Structure formats: structure tokens, C-alpha cells
Amino acid sequence: MEALYVVAYKIRVLAQRADREVGSSGKLPEKLKGTSSFLMKVFGVLAQKGPKPVGTLYVICQLFKIYFKLGTVHLCRSFIRSIEAVRIFDFEEFPKRDKVTYMYYTGRLEVFNENFPTANHMLSYAFTHCNPHSEANIRMILKYLIPVKLSLGILPQDWLLEKYNLVEYRNVVLAPKSGDLRLLRAALDEHEGRFLRSGVYLAEENLNHS
């Protein structure tokens, strides 16, 4: 199984690099899509292997990463359904790393669909179960968790923002505290590009409501 993990990981990374090179040399970046179909096949084989689908979550996480990179995020849905079909204690048996990654991506999907309570549940799970030493990962989770929690009315502490270097959220957090609408508007405009790209912009506009 370890070998499989390595293969899946490497093939995704290689495909990304290949696409970047191909893209810069003027041809069309196709490798990532080929990788996704390959990994889909791998998943199919693994899923049929028996009652305990070991390793499938890892493959699924790789696929999620590819889909998010390509933008074809809706294709994740079928895999999510197949994982939901697995019973709860079976899900718990997957390695923690995979569970955290899976919850992170499903949480992001829910943010895109503006489904904040569910997103909160998933991203919080990822946050609490994530290895405290992998700061980069925690930062990624927080990038999405903070707007979600903000729209539910929970504000993060300043030290959290500082620790993980999330400067762009500072004013966004400050504004609801002091009720300053102009500050919120200015903060949103300033980091507009970043927020739009990560899909949280509309979530933060809801802060205008509250």
C-alpha cells in the first residue's frame, strides 16, 4: 500500500510540473487531466477490493487536489458520496492524515456552496485533528475556517492571526468587533484578489449583514 501512495503522490506532482513546463513552452497542459483519469481507475480497483477500502481515501485526496487545481470541483461529488457510504467506524479507521485532508477539501467545497454550518463542522474537524507542527497546513485550513466562523459569529483571537501570518484577515476581524462597516469594505477591497481566488469573498460580504 505504501508503494501505491508513493506512486499516486509522485504522479500528481510530476503531472503538475510537466503541465507547468508544457504550458510555458507553448503547448497545452494535459498531463494533470490524464493523471486524474488514471487515479480514477486506481480508485475503482481499490474500491472493489473488499469490505475495507484501505488506501482509497489517500487516492481520493490526491484526486481532490487535482480537481481543485483544475477547477473542475464538481467532479469531487461522486467520490464524496462513495466515502459517505462507508460506515462511521470504518471512516475512523482511515489514517488521520487522510481524514484531515479529506475534511479540508470537503469543507472547502461547502464554502463554495455557501453551506456554512457544514463547512464549519468539516473545517473544524480538520483543524483540531491536524498535526500542530505542520504550520503550513494549519494556515491553509485557517484561511477557510476563519471566514466560515466569522459568518457564524465567532471571532478569532489576534494571536491566532499573528501566529499563522494571516494578515489579510486582521481588518476583516476588527470590523465586526467595532461595528465599522467602512473598515470592512476597505479590507475586502484591499485583499479582493486573494479573497476572490479562494472563494471566500462572498462569505465575507455576509459579514455586512451581521
Residue ranges binding another protein (CB under 8 A):
19-20, 23-24, 26-30, 32-34, 37-38, 40-41, 44-45, 69-75, 77-78, 81, 111-114, 192-193, 196-197, 199-203, 205-206, 208-209
**Residue 51 Cβ, how far from another protein at the closest point, in Å?**
20
CB-nearer residue toward another protein: 19 or 98: 19
**Residue 133 Cβ, how far from another protein at the closest point, in Å?**
30
CB-nearer residue toward another protein: 186 or 196: 196
**Residue 77 Cβ, how far from another protein at the closest point, in Å?**
7
CB-nearer residue toward another protein: 37 or 178: 37
Residue 206 has a CB neighbour count (10 Å cut-off) of 13
Q: How far apart are CA 56 and CA 59, in angstroms?
A: 5
**Residue 184 Cβ, how far from another protein at the closest point, in Å?**
12
CB-nearer residue toward another protein: 121 or 185: 185
Distances (CA, A) of 147 to 60, 78, 127, 205: 26, 27, 14, 10
Q: How far apart are CA 22 and CA 5, in angstroms?
A: 25
- Under DSSP, is residue 80 helix (H, G, I), strand (E, B) or coil? helix
Q: What angle do CA 130, 133, 139 make, to 5 degrees?
A: 65
- CB within 8 A of 113, min separation 6: which ones? none
CB-nearer residue toward another protein: 6 or 45: 45
Would residue 157 be called left, alpha or beta, if left means φ above 0 and alpha means ψ between -120 and 50 degrees? beta
**Residue 105 Cβ, how far from another protein at the closest point, in Å?**
13
**Residue 23 Cβ, how far from another protein at the closest point, in Å?**
5
CB-nearer residue toward another protein: 97 or 185: 185
Q: Which amino acid is at 173?
A: V
Q: Which three cell numbers stand for residue 202?
A: 462572498
DSSP-assigned states of every residue in 150-168: HHHT-PPPHHHHHHTT-GG
